[in-house]
Amino acid sequence: MIIPLKKSVPATNLHILSQAGFFSCLTSEQLELVAANCSIQEFPGASQIYSLGDSARYFYVLIEGMVRFNLTLGGRQTSAGEILRRGEVFGWAALIESAQRRAATASCITPCVVLALDGNRLIAAMERDHSIGYCLMKQLNILINGKMIGFVAG
């Protein structure tokens, strides 16, 4: 269950994005465009942020707490799952137009606060400014490649 917090000030969103390595390739102006399409969400401990097969609407930056990320491919799931910490991103299916559903599960180990980026709005921003798109797709490629290597390695 999502517990919405007060509408955050874009400066807060901008600060969070500027601290996340995934967005380090963006200029200040580009970060402002991305930050305009974010909201802060809070989840209690032991809750699901999303499950396998859920609609892939948001891409997340973890602000506080710990999230267990379990990737599933071809019926095979990571054994223990990766533990994500502050500043890490997850929910990348929201940035892939052809990925309508989640291929992983993200669950809160502790109470968590995340910055949720609307995937459709972010894709639209990447279409309008191809340098944003190129930057973020490069980052996404590195992220997914790392997850797949970790998945195959067991």
In a domain, 131, yes or no: yes
- 114-133: pLDDT as tens digits: 999 999 999 999 999 999 99
**3-state SS track over 36-80:** CCEEEEEECCCCEEECCCCECCEEEEEEECCEEEEEEECCEECCC
At 76 the pLDDT is 60
The region of weakest confidence among 29-33, 76-80, 137-141 is 76-80
Please say whether the beta carbons of 22 and 48 come within 8 A: no
- Pick from 49, 60, 65, 58: nearest CA to 20: 60
Structural domain includes residue 29: yes
CATH number for 20: 2.60.120.10
Is residue 153, in this structure, part of any structural domain at all?
Answer: no
Residue range of the domain that includes 131: 3-119+126-148
pTM, rounded to two decimals? 0.85
Position 154 in a domain = no
Q: Is residue 141 part of a domain?
A: yes
**Cα 110 versus chain centre, distance:** 17
14 is a domain residue: yes
Write out pLDDT tens, residues 91-116.
999 999 888 899 889 999 999 999 99
Quote the pLDDT of residue 6. 42
Give a yes or no: residue 101 inside a domain.
yes
18-58: pLDDT as tens digits: 999 999 999 999 999 999 989 999 999 999 999 999 999 99
- Number of folded domains that form the chain: 1
Q: How much is the pLDDT for 34?
A: 94
Q: Report the residue count for the chain.
A: 154
On whether residue 112 sits in a domain, the answer given is yes
**Residue 69, token pair as written in the block:** 């990320």
Cα 38 from Cα 148, distance rounded (Å): 27
